A and B are shown apart, each in its own frame.
Chain A
């Protein structure tokens, strides 16, 4: 039972990471938003699995929040932003797709190197998924750094948050509930503020290509 649970958790984590890697090889905001939505659903499912196995009511609530907020509400808001900009084509990223994927793979390897030595601290059946979560964190950072469009950077940031949530769920079956609520509030408010700033960028620059944001470089 423990073994099957662990395997399922790793499977869920792999799906979450795979959606993150999708950000690297797909172009176009629609595909990115879809990948983020799918990732959030996979994350919610993984957390739900852990909730079911441990019988923790709080984790069920967390899973439901992930599904509702990140799986449904945020993708809808992102879609609305994308429609308003009316330019679905992704600009050439700083790093091309093939190289990006290679770097993404290397980052996952790096995550294994970083996390592997500390895994024996834990005896939870889910711990084998932790390197995948760390891999997603690294890959998301790379997405934020290497992509030019503000919308893509926001999606990269949301994926980074998913990676951290996954890490906490796998490593410790979630963080204390009161903290979880605070983190959710922050994530939501942060997202809304980013949205406002992006709309401002669009109004003042008439584009959301951050390459144009180079007035302040001294």
Chain B
């Protein structure tokens, strides 16, 4: 078990060091990094399989790291998208767009990025979790302007400033939580451990914890892209190189949401679930509204995907505020979204490589130019829109059902309307991209054909999730919900 954990977090770290040390850059470094990311994924799956029964394993001094079902779920998502980004990212010896220096930078920082996210989701100590989430910003900010341009530098600045300030506010919340704990139970090394906080939560001060939670939600919510703190997100996701966008959208938002979930459980035990639930419902609804309205008339496909990320994060946030049923739906949605968005951003990278533009108006005849890429892109759009047989249909359905069961029919009506607006806005423009005349000078035929295999696998996974496939995922989700709604 210990060895598995070391493989999980050690592999991306080793990949980062390898890429940083080997000079000049060689393409075998990229291949080795991709293999290591696969090892990390295998370790994540193994931990998830073993974590299904019994006591969650812990490691380190005063149980610093701990993997329960929720951690394992997030770890699998992170390693999956990181592996996709590693196998399809620059630096494997077939790119004309990247210099060796850029490839090295990508390999170093994207692996570090994966490493910090894995630490964040497996830390028992909430302050260590905070340190790791802050480190994700640092690791990814320098990758956004991989191709230096005015737009990418601007996006990078917005990202690091707004992200860091948000995370600093989350630290205020963490300090307030510690403040409350120490004055009740005394100082000790394990005071900031999530398990200790959980044990002490029923007798902590509701006022302090409520205040702490407001800071936590605003802080990590900034990082999760919840409105109105989302302003950095569309720029960062649209300007970053495609594989980084895939990681940021697919799993970074989920990791930030994970931090909120951890605190929500503690605060819920202290102040009752009403206040945290309401706060999450309001922020989730605001995000849905902002995203739906911004999706209308959006002219760039990467920004379209970015706003769709805000929409889906908002939806998960609403789910988390709807009790155990909603939490289950939110986690199922999280898994689906990670796979779908990871795939879509990587596909958008392929389209950008061919058409050299992010404007949807200038991309047409996609199915003729790149039949498989176009087909997968269409499938992904339908999946994100939440049509059957894809998994997102079922997670959305489960979420709405949870809303009705817990007695929020009006709220669910609003959510439904916003979702419909978003779906129509997204699907309205996809036809023009897929069909129509091929612009002059666009080459026909797929390039890097083997790179389509993992992306096609994503579509298969999404359909399988839709058919309720994978009993293991089901029971992992059940265990994770148990962790959350104790």
Contacts and interface: CB of A to CB of B under 8 A. Distances in A.
Partners in one complex: yes
A186 interface: yes
Residue in B142, B164, B178 whose Cβ sees the most chain A Cβ within 10 Å: B164
A117 B149 CA distance: 49
Interface in A111-157: 114, 117-118, 121-123, 137, 141, 144, 150, 153, 157
Interface stretch (A1-9, A36-44, A85-93, A172-180): A172-180
Interface string B296-332: 0011000100000000000000000000000000000
Contacts of A196: 142
Contact of B153 (A168, A171, A176, A201): A201
B205 A194 contact: no
Contacts of A175: 127, 175, 178, 192
Contact of A121 (B125, B151, B179): B179
A76 interface: no
A130 to B, nearest CB: 9
A183 B207 contact: no
Interface in B139-188: 141-142, 145, 148-151, 153-158, 160-161, 164-165, 168, 171-172, 175-176, 178-180, 182-183, 187
Contacts of B149: 204
B153 A118 contact: no
A137 B165 CA distance: 10
A197 B156 contact: yes
B68 interface: no
B131 A186 contact: yes
A196 B164 CA distance: 15
Contact of A179 (B131, B135, B164, B238): B131
Contacts of B303: 218
A210 B158 CA distance: 10
Given A179-B131, A186-B134, A190-B134, A201 B235 contact: no
A114 B164 contact: no
B207 A117 contact: yes
B189 interface: yes
A26 interface: no
Nearest to A141: B165
Interface in A159-204: 160-161, 164, 167-168, 171-173, 175-176, 178-179, 182-183, 185-186, 189-190, 193-194, 196-198, 200-201, 203-204
B93 to A, nearest CB: 28
A182 B211 contact: no
A134 B76 CA distance: 38
Nearest to A150: B157
A205 B157 CA distance: 13
Nearest to B132: A182
A213 interface: yes
B191 A176 contact: yes
B154 A215 contact: yes
A207 to B, nearest CB: 11
A141 B169 CA distance: 10
A29 B27 CA distance: 45
Contacts of A122: 179, 183
A121 B178 CA distance: 12
Contacts of B192: 175-176, 179
Nearest to B303: A218
Interface residues of A, number: 45
A167 B157 contact: no
Contact of B207 (A118, A168, A182, A186): A118
Q: Chain B binding site: helix, strand, loop or mixed by DSSP?
A: helix
Contacts of B183: 121-123, 172
Nearest to B189: A176
Contacts of B141: 193, 197
A182 B126 CA distance: 12
B125 A179 contact: yes
B172 A167 contact: yes
Contacts of B165: 141, 144, 157, 160
B150 A215 contact: yes
A195 B176 CA distance: 30
Most buried by B among A185, A200, A203: A200
Interface string A204-218: 110000100101101
Interface string B107-133: 000000000000000000101100100
B205 A121 contact: yes
A203 B150 CA distance: 9
Contacts of B235: 216
A190 B137 contact: yes
A136 to B, nearest CB: 11
Contacts of B134: 186, 190
Contact of A118 (B131, B135, B154, B205): B205
Contact of B171 (A183, A193, A215): A183
Contacts of A153: 161
A166 B412 CA distance: 43
B186 to A, nearest CB: 11
Interface string B202-213: 000101100100
Interface string A72-104: 000000000000000000000000000000000
A182 B138 contact: no
A118 B210 CA distance: 11
A210 B155 CA distance: 12
A176 to B, nearest CB: 6
Given A123-B183, A186-B134, A200-B153, A161 B168 contact: yes
Contacts of A189: 135, 138
22 contacts: A118-B205, A118-B211, A121-B180, A121-B205, A122-B183, A123-B183, A157-B165, A157-B168, A168-B178, A172-B179, A175-B178, A175-B192, A183-B131, A186-B138, A193-B138, A197-B145, A197-B153, A203-B148, A210-B157, A215-B150, A216-B158, A218-B303
Interface of A: 114, 117-118, 121-123, 137, 141, 144, 150, 153, 157, 160-161, 164, 167-168, 171-173, 175-176, 178-179, 182-183, 185-186, 189-190, 193-194, 196-198, 200-201, 203-205, 210, 213, 215-216, 218
Given A157-B161, A213-B157, 10 more contacts: A118-B211, A144-B165, A157-B164, A164-B175, A171-B179, A179-B127, A183-B131, A190-B137, A197-B157, A203-B148
